[in-house]
Structure 1
């Protein structure tokens, strides 16, 4: 076996355990606005990251007829929480009224709801052990 081939085999063998523990998370978000809107989705791996609004990954995509589908690829196994909102006016942020309540549609994985604020990580967390699909609605 030549050196180049041996190096390729070694690299593949070293990466195999990482790939075996990676999973894809397929997400469907529904009940968005029927009119044109951009969906913002943030994925959090810890309660601290969610509280600090520091996502592990995020995606932005157009909603079509109030629905969007996306995939987070190659995530390590573990617990994850997602939060999202539909930007209906194109300003790139979740708009709120004078008392801080959202005026655009938003949602969390597990359809979690908070009391006097957003839900906590544990309420929204989903377990990812293998390729999985989840769905949640915007409110």
Structure 2
């Protein structure tokens, strides 16, 4: 009885310690043109083997109606890179062309002192060292994704016309 309560107390202390070390990161997702679709996010530690490493955090959200929205995450102070994609065909992976270029909307974090995200891992690494730090992820739309977007808009306008 005494041992089990000690273990519970130790577990609680560890949980509190981890939560205290975590910094609230605010991911600002910009240029959302596809509400209702799933957005997959993956956070990678700089110490990992670039984009091939196992992410330290993952998140899936359904895109809201807003063109820009904020996602809070708690991560310990460290250096990270983030990438995200909108899953147009709901297969839970980023689809690419034969030349390994994304054909679904995607985003990469902008590294320290950079204005734009980059597919290059080192250029995407930023330092998380303060509470409430904001990182922008601007979604980019490859040509194939724009074609999907246009056909979706055409479908919406046809549905609207049919309902009138």
TM-score range, shorter chain: 0.7 to 0.9
Structure 1 residues 68 and 87 mapped into 2: Cα distance closer, same or farther (>3 Å)? farther
Contact 1:32 1:105 in 2 (8 A): no
The CA RMSD over aligned residues, in Å, is 2.6
Structure 1 residues 18 and 34 mapped into 2: Cα distance closer, same or farther (>3 Å)? closer
- 1:99 match: 99
Contact 1:33 1:86 in 2 (8 A): no
- 2:153 match: none
* Matched residue SS, 2:48: helix
- 1:55 match: 55
Which structure carries more relative contact order (alpha carbon 8 Å, separation 6+)? 1
Structure 2 CA distance for aligned equivalents of residues 46 and 92 of structure 1: 24
Structure 1 CA distance for aligned equivalents of residues 64 and 13 of structure 2: 42
**Which protein is bigger by CA-based radius of gyration?**
2
Residue segments in structure 2 that go unaligned for 5+ positions in a row:
1-5, 111-115, 141-164
In proportion to residue count, which structure has more strand? 1
In proportion to residue count, which structure has more helix? 2
- 1:4 match: none
Contact 2:26 2:71 in 1 (8 A): yes
Structure 2 CA distance for aligned equivalents of residues 98 and 71 of structure 1: 35
Contact 1:107 1:136 in 2 (8 A): yes
Shift, 1:34, TM fit: 2.7
Residue segments in structure 1 that go unaligned for 5+ positions in a row:
1-6
Contact 1:87 1:104 in 2 (8 A): yes
Is the counterpart of residue 112 in structure 1 residue 117 in structure 2?
yes
